[in-house]
Every structure is written in structure tokens, then in C-alpha cells.
Amino acid sequence: MSYLEFKNPMLLLLLIPWGLMLFWFLFRRLYNREAAVAISSETVVRARKSIRAQTYRFLPALRFAVALLLIITLSRPGRGVHYSSVRNLGVDIMITMDVSLSMLAEDFQPKNRLAVSKQVIKDFVARRKTDRIGMVVFAGEAYLQCPLTLDHDIIQDIAGEVDFESVHVDGTAIGDAIALSTARMMDSKAKSRVILLVTDGMNNRGSIDPETAAKAAAEMGIRIYTVGIGKKGEAVPYPTGFMGMRQQVILDMDEDSLKNIAELTGGKYFNATSSGVLWQNFKDIDRLEKSRVELKQYHEFYDRFQWFLVAAAALFFIEIILRSVVYRKVP
């Protein structure tokens, strides 16, 4: 954005006495006219009177114009340019989602734990417009579904397509999932890196202990937010696969381990006991991990007083020429 600016704006106060002098001059011209021209030769009168009649009245105006231009010159007018640059410092987020068979539990409406988790994750991704997001899914093994990307449409499509067949080995390899997510963020240069771990079980598969993996993530400055799905020790409806029948089963969740993982990495543990609570948990995480915006403002000034100085000099010399040639007094 550019605009007119004065380096010495206080000197513009000189326009006040300049304006008073102009007013006084015009007042005298209007109310105190005096004829002061005496010319002896009628021929000269006709030759010169027309020139003087056309130009003589402009001589004082030239002097006032020169004074005005000099005042503006001294105030140093110029073009000020103000601009700013905005840089989004997004967060790198690796969503690590449990797709083991225990996520079939139907205590989360309208369908089951996995279906609700997928929908909540898609909504979360839609709100993180400036962040790079990736996805790891796990059960008895962990697999990268999508590396970190700004293409959120792809992430949402993948989140919508993952199911219990995405991983062929059942179980819950939380440690392996954290380790894989951490490895995929090693080359990230983002100032804020986050793993969002969603699971409803306890670690019973894989070769890496969850707390060991969490310590490795912490050493890299990666925070882990853990979301435990369901209530510990509570019987929940679970499909039997036979004629749509359900049975009540108790699914174990290692809540203490999830809390410890979050604490080791500077993250936070959330317990989603229902669909509504899960939605709220993700909204809370969204507020905790806000993208930062870096704003830099710049100001430049380009002098333009030269134009006014040149104009003042030109008018000054025009007045000198007129007085010396056209209005030169002959003794």
C-alpha cells in the first residue's frame, strides 16, 4: 500500500503565515487599487498594455507559488510504501489410528468406534488448513497410509476408506505404530510436530515397547496426544457375525500406558467415552495445537521533494525574466 507522506510535517505549519499573507495581499488588491502606470507614448501603450494586461497580474501569484512550493519542498514529501509478509508456521501432524477388530464395538453411535473415529478425523483434517498431515494405521502391525502432505483431500479420502482389512494381522501394536509415525517425521522441519494416537486397546503385539517409542519421540521434540476409546472394564455390544446378533464383551484398554505416553512427550491424554466426547476431544486438540502466523511489516520511503524544488526554481526564474524584460523600467 502506497500513500503520500511528509518527512518534516511540522514545517507544513508555515502554510498558516503563507495563507495570511495571501489573504492580506488579495484584500489590498480588491479594496486599495491605485493606478500607478504612466506611459508617454500612445503607440507604446497599445503595444505593451496588452502584454501587461495579460501577464502583470500574475507576477505576485508567481511569488506566492514559489513560496508555497518551497514550503512543500522543506517538508520533504514522498511516497511511503507499507507492505507486510505473512508466513503460516503450520503444524506437522501424524494421525495414528487403531483399526483392530476391537474397534468394531458398537457403543459409539451411529455405527461403531471405527466409523465414528473416521468421521471425527475427517472433520479435524478439514479444520487444519495450513498443516501437513499424514496417516498411519495399525492393528497387529503398523502401516503408513499417507506421508505428511498439504493435500487434505487425499487424507480425508484415505480416512474414509480405511477399515479392519487395512491391516491383516489383528492385535494392538501401539509401540510399533508410534515408532513408525516418529520415523516418518524425522525429516520434518516444522517447529511443531505432533502424533495423534487413537486406540481402544493395550499393547499386545509388535517388537517395540510403547514407552520406549514415546521416549524416542520426545527426544525429537514430538508431542503425542493419546485418545483412549471407550470405558475401561465396561461391557459393550460387539457383533458376533452370526445373523446380526450382538454379545456383551469387556475390552481392555491400558489407560495408564496412554497417559504415560502423553506425559513423556509433553502431550495430553483424552478419554473418549462416547461419540460426543470423542468429537469434543478432537476440538480440544485443535485448540491446543494452533498453527502460528509470522507477520513481518516493512516500510519504505521515496523522496519526491525534487519535483517541487524544480518547479519552484522554474517559477522563480520566470518571474526574474518577466521583471527584467517585459516589465523592465526605462529611466
Which pLDDT value is given to residue 229? Answer: 92
Angle (CA) 274 121 116, round 5°: 35
Domain match, 147 and 23 both: no
Cβ proximity of 167 and 201 under 8 Å: no
Domain match, 138 and 225 both: yes
Domain match, 50 and 189 both: no
Residues 221-251: tens digit of each pLDDT: 999 999 999 887 777 877 876 666 677 777 7
Domain match, 142 and 281 both: yes
Residues 19-77: tens digit of each pLDDT: 898 888 888 777 765 544 444 444 444 444 555 555 566 678 888 888 999 999 999 99
Domain match, 141 and 278 both: yes
Domain match, 281 and 318 both: no
Whichever domain contains 230, its CATH number is 3.40.50.410
In this predicted structure, the answer to whether residue 319 has a pLDDT above a threshold of 90 is no
Phi-psi region of 37 (alpha: psi -120 to 50; beta: other; left: phi over 0): beta
Domain match, 177 and 217 both: yes
Distance from C-alpha of 44 to C-alpha of 163, rounded to nearest angstrom: 109
Distance from C-alpha of 72 to C-alpha of 76, rounded to nearest angstrom: 7
Domain match, 193 and 233 both: yes
Domain match, 260 and 307 both: no
| Residue 302 β-bridge partners | 79
In a domain, 52, yes or no: yes
Question: Is this model's pTM higher than 0.85 or not?
Answer: no
Q: Reduce the DSSP state of residue 287 to 3 states and report it.
A: helix
In a domain, 295, yes or no: no
Domain match, 147 and 236 both: yes
Residues 246-278: tens digit of each pLDDT: 777 777 788 999 999 999 999 999 999 888 999
The total of structural domains in the chain comes to: 2
Q: Reduce the DSSP state of residue 132 to 3 states and report it.
A: strand
Which residue segment(s) compose the domain that 110 sits in?
A: 91-290
Domain match, 209 and 318 both: no
Domain match, 112 and 217 both: yes
In a domain, 296, yes or no: no
